[in-house]
Structure 1
Amino acid sequence: MKSSRLLAMVLLLQTKGRRTAAQLAEELDVSVRTVYRDVESLHAAGVPIYGDAGHQGGYQLVAGYRTHLTGLHPSEAGALFLSGLPGPAGELGMGDALAGAQLKLRAALPPDLRAQADRMRARFHLDAPGWYAKDTSVPFLGAVADAVWRGQLLHVRYRRWKAPEEVDRVLEPYGLVLKAGRWYLVAGPGPRTYRVDQILALRTSAEEFEPPGDFDLPSYWRDHQERFHAFLQQGEAVIRADGVERTVPIESIAKAARHFLSQGPSVEVLEPRELRDEVARLAAEVAALYRPTP
């Protein structure tokens, strides 16, 4: 446990630069006192780490020092190869770069970890989209990704679900998110979320921008999903399934009625009354449709 934590501390300093004891303690989920002891252990092991006192002080590695990947746990080595999705990387125009990076990583691993990574890649395959998801053309994904990387404004014609269906927007592209096989652009002003496959035309501007200093893409996406689910689940229904009554969230009476009807006699809607009546109405229509002809 301690050896893993020491390696994590070195990697944090290697990738993020100077860190205070308080920052390291928060990132490693330990006490500040433990950080002090770990720094002493790294010193004793010959790791060139030093600290500066004062308000702007902190710990850092001697310039040019790099650790090696020999500290990887076997499961971590395998996870690195699972984390690279070749499909999305190819869509972003980085398929060759991903393949090259994985080859270099594999060559850097010790033989036992290399075998573990090869076994993981041979026995596990990631396919993110759902079974019934259609392959959707995303012709402007590469240009959007390039604008995100360069911090350049985008002039787009965008198709949305309400009138007017086609609108022109000038967007500040903050980041891209891949969710269930579909690409989303998070862009300002706002920020707001846009489906990349709904961009009908695109022109990149030479004008650059800076995202807000406090913007964090993972945090924004987590909040966006919470708001989305709260919007969908606007009501509740009481149902009886397998002899058990339970309360479940529903989006609307119309959609819930079709969903529960598709479950057949295994699910009975008890409340609200308007939902029960709607299920009964739909069931009567289906029964009439299949009534034997004389």
Structure 2
Amino acid sequence: MRASRLVSLLLLLQTKGRMTAQALADELEVSVRTIYRDVDSLHAAGVPLYGDAGPAGGYQLLDGYRTRLTGLTEQEAESLFLAGLPGPAAELGLGEAVSAAQLKLMAALPSSMRDRATRMSTRFHLDAPAWYYDPERSPFLEVVADAVWHARALEVSYRRWQAPEDVTRVLRPLGLVLKAGRWYLVALGSSRVSTYRVSQIQAVRALEETFERPVFDLAAYWAASLEDFQARQHTGSAVLRLSARGWSSFASHVLPVVARAAEESAVPDGSWTRVTIPIESVGHATGMVLRMGAEVEVLEPVELRERVTAVVRELSALYAPGGATGAS
């Protein structure tokens, strides 16, 4: 355990530069006194490590010193071959770089780890896009990614879902997100941070203007955006009765947020279960109800119940003897 911690301490200094004893202690979840002892051990082992006192002080490796240790455990080495998605990397123009990096990593690993890593890469494959969707064409992805990396402003022609459909914007790109095989650009516009689907960019021009990237947590922004999207997506609610079979399969027919709402509101109703769920619209909810057939009954709202009834009557007339096909 201590040997692993010493390697971790060394790698932290190698990757982050100067760090105080307290910062090292926080990262490694040990006491400051333990850090002092570990530093003494590294000194004794000949590692060129020195410390400066004062508010701006801390421990630092001698300039130019690089250890050849990776500190990788077997599980960590295996996971690296799951972390790289070759498809998205190629879309960003990094396909060759990822292949070269994996090749170098493989060459640097001990033979035992190399065998395990090879087995991992040949037995597990990550496929990011969702089912039933063709990969989106995003011809300007590399230009956008370069602007994200170099904090360079972009002038984009963008096609929206609402009028006016075609707009021109000057954006300060903050990050890229890959969601279900689709790329999204998170960027600062004239006044606020917004999300843009990269495939909807019709033209792009990298400007000479660069900008100072603000402190921005891309992961936190994305999580909040998804939560806000789901809240705005469901504008109404419905009360349903589900048979035992309908209740057991309900989660497979709806989004997780709807399934959670059903779970939280579930009340026994004889051999059935009564639930209250959020819905996007009467039309959208009608399709969900019809997919479940006779395993669900709509209680509220009246508009949804009437719409399902009307569709069922239309289907009954269509499939009745002498219906639409027979009449022709």
Q: TM-score, normalised by structure 2?
A: 0.81
Name the counterpart of 1:62.
62
* 1:280 lines up with 2:282 in the alignment: no
- Identify which range, 145-154 or 27-36, moves more after superposition: 27-36
Distance 1:252 1:35 in 2: 59
Shift of 1:170: 0.6
- Residues 34-73 of structure 1: pairs in structure 2 closer than 5 A: 34-73=34-73
- Asked whether the 8 Å contact 2:239–2:277 carries over to 1, the reply is yes
1:1-294 → structure 2 map (5 Å cutoff): 1-189=1-189, 190-212=192-214, 214-239=215-240, 240=242, 241-242=247-248, 243-293=272-322
Bigger CA drift: 9-18 or 164-173? 9-18
Q: Take 1:38 and 1:273, find their aligned partners in 2: how far apart are those partners?
A: 71
Map of 2:261 onto structure 1: none
The 3-state SS of whatever aligns with 2:184 is strand
Higher gyration radius (CA): 2
Q: Decide whether the 8 Å contact of 1:70 with 1:110 is kept in 2.
A: no
Q: 1:157 to 1:54 in 2, by over 3 A?
A: same
Gaps of 5+ in 2: 249-271, 324-328
Query: Contact (CA 8 Å) 1:153, 1:173: kept in 2 or not?
Result: yes
Contact 1:69–1:109 (8 Å) recurs in 2: no
Deviations 1:15-68 (Å, cap 9, x if unpaired)? 111122333344334454554454445445544433322211222222223233
CA displacement, residues 141-162 of structure 1 (integer Å, 9 cap, x when unaligned) = 1111122222221111100111
Identity %: 59
Change over 3 Å in CA distance of 1:29–1:293 after alignment to 2: farther
SS of alignment partner, residue 162 of structure 1: coil
Distance in 2 between residues matched to 1:42 and 1:184, nearest whole Å? 45
Aligned mates of 1:49, 1:164 — CA distance in 2: 61
Matching residue's letter, 2:166: E
Distance 1:269 1:45 in 2: 74
> Does structure 2 conserve the Cα–Cα contact (< 8 Å) formed by 1:69 and 1:108?
no
Residues 219 and 11 of structure 1: is their aligned pair in 2 closer, same or farther, counting only changes over 3 Å? Answer: farther
Q: Secondary structure at the match of 1:135?
A: coil
Does the C-alpha gap of structure 1 residues 19 and 232 become closer, same or farther in structure 2, counting only changes over 3 Å? farther
**d(CA) in 2 for partners of 1:131, 1:41:** 54
CA deviations on 1:223-265 (whole Å, 9 max, x unpaired) are 2222222222444444322533344443333212211221222
What is the deviation of 1:182? 0.6
Matched pairs, number = 293
Q: Secondary structure at the match of 2:158?
A: strand
Q: Give the Cα–Cα distance (whole angstroms) in 2 for the partners of residues 182 and 100 of structure 1.
A: 25
Other structure's SS at 1:176 match: strand
CA contact (8 A) 2:136 2:181 kept: no
Residues 276 and 31 of structure 1, relative CA distance in 2, 3 Å threshold: farther
Quote the Cα distance in structure 1 between the aligned partners of 2:10 and 2:298: 58
Matched letter for residue 191 of structure 1: V
The answer on whether the counterparts of 2:8 and 2:71 sit within 8 Å (CA) in structure 1 is no
Counterpart-to-counterpart distance in 2, 1:2 and 1:226: 42
Partner Cα distance (1:286, 1:157) in 2: 45
Comparing 123-132 with 55-64, which one deviates more in the overlay?
Answer: 55-64
TM-score by length of 1: 0.89
CA RMSD of aligned residues (A): 2.3
